[in-house]
Amino acid sequence: MSYEINEKRFLKELEAEMAIDSVTGQYHELQDYLLKEIEGLGFKTWTLHKGGIMVEAGGEGNPLLVTAHGDTIGLMVRHINSDGTIKVYKVGGLYAFHTERENVRIHTRSDKVITGCVQRKNASVHVTEDELRKEVPDFDTNSFVVLDEDVNSAEDVRALGIEVGDYVALEPRFTVANGYIKSHFIDDKALVAVLMELLHDIKDGKVKLGRKVYIYISFYEEIGHGGSTVPEDVKDYLAVDIACIGPEQTSSEKKVTIFCQDSRFPYNIDMRNELEDAAAKAGADYVRDSFTPHYGTDADPALVAGFDIRHGAIGPGTRASHGYERTHIDALSNTYKVLAQYVAK
């Protein structure tokens, strides 16, 4: 049986998620939104004390946990400079060269949102020596946030309610053209939207579960401990996350990737073979790929935490990971086909 993603519904869901800032640890708004949507479909849910959503999707026997993460990389206020600019530091693997000239939203303690832009000290071509313009952007030395406010001192900034520790989120710049999806944070909101599609199809009876399935949306993947909580009856753990495109990678923006290895471990060979069989049965266009030296999924910390589980991972080929990312609806559709076939087998 071939399982097809509802493209219109999927893109609407993805755009809604992209509009909600959720830098790692800043989970409340997105969690509340997703809980409302999932409980509206009739599924039993509970939340983790640290933040995260667990869903009982149904089915019986041989429990499988499927996870995607709702947290994103971002920034946090590090220091308020005397001239009213703001020094920031990264949350997760966000590098300054991926933020230059990006618009941002600062979330204050009082829930006020103040906008700004990431700039370099030596940003103007006409008044900057060539050597300075060629400097690599760096949050410690030459990259900071300029507010869209009339501020000229640290006191002016603090009067707006901004303080050290406030989250700074990049605007996603979500857009779709000819099936290509471009945005910050395709990693991993695109796969959260895929899981929402699966829940819709389970509810509507289009996907009939062949085993007990939990859906887990974590909010700490980008700093390494999102996947460390697992229901005690789970036997298998499947992460759905982006597959990074690079010079020596087989991943493609139009295909689903079955992960063989990441920077931590090889994925379970038996589970990997089952996923490949599911891809073939579903008619999905897929490749196998390995990701080193800087990649991991939420399935990895579950093993480190000591759970006796098999782990696997699949996901859409995605360009420019942790930057302004791009994938194609075909890759997400192929990912959905494998996922639906695997939970239904």
Predicted confidence at residue 188, as pLDDT, reads: 98
Active-site residue, from 197, 221, 222, 325 = 221
In tens, the pLDDT along 106-161 reads 999 999 999 999 999 888 888 888 777 778 899 999 999 999 999 999 999 999 99
Helix 7-18 and helix 329-344, axial crossing angle in degrees, nearest 10: 110
In the chain, % of residues over pLDDT 90: 94
Position 337 scores a pLDDT of 98
Q: How far apart are CA 2 and CA 61, in angstroms?
A: 24
pTM of the model as a whole: 0.97
Cα 122 from Cα 166, distance rounded (Å): 25
**How would residue 173 be classed by pLDDT, with cut points 50, 70 and 90?**
very high
- What is the per-residue pLDDT for 295? 95
Measured distance CA(236)–CA(292) in Å, rounded? 23
CATH classification of 74-170, choosing from 3.40.630.30, 3.40.50.620, 3.60.20.10, 2.40.30.40?
2.40.30.40
CATH numeric code, 7-72+185-344: 3.40.630.10
The model's pLDDT over 39-90, given as tens digits with 9 standing for 90+, comes to 999 999 999 999 999 999 999 999 999 999 999 999 999 999 999 999 999 9
Omega cis (within 30) before 32: no
Domain boundaries, the chain: 7-72+185-344, 74-170
Q: Which residues pair with 146 in a beta bridge?
A: 117
Q: Which residues of 249-283 are buried (b: 16+ CB within 10 A; e: fewer)?
A: ebbbbbbbbbbbbbebeebbeebbebbbebbebbe
Radius of gyration of the chain (CA): 21
How confident is residue 229, by pLDDT bands cut at 50, 70 and 90? very high
Q: Give the distance from CA 197 to its chain's centroid.
A: 16
Q: What is the dihedral of CA 334, 339, 341, 345, to 10 degrees?
A: 160
Active site residue 221: yes
pLDDT at 123: 80
Look-up: residue for tokens 């710049």?
173
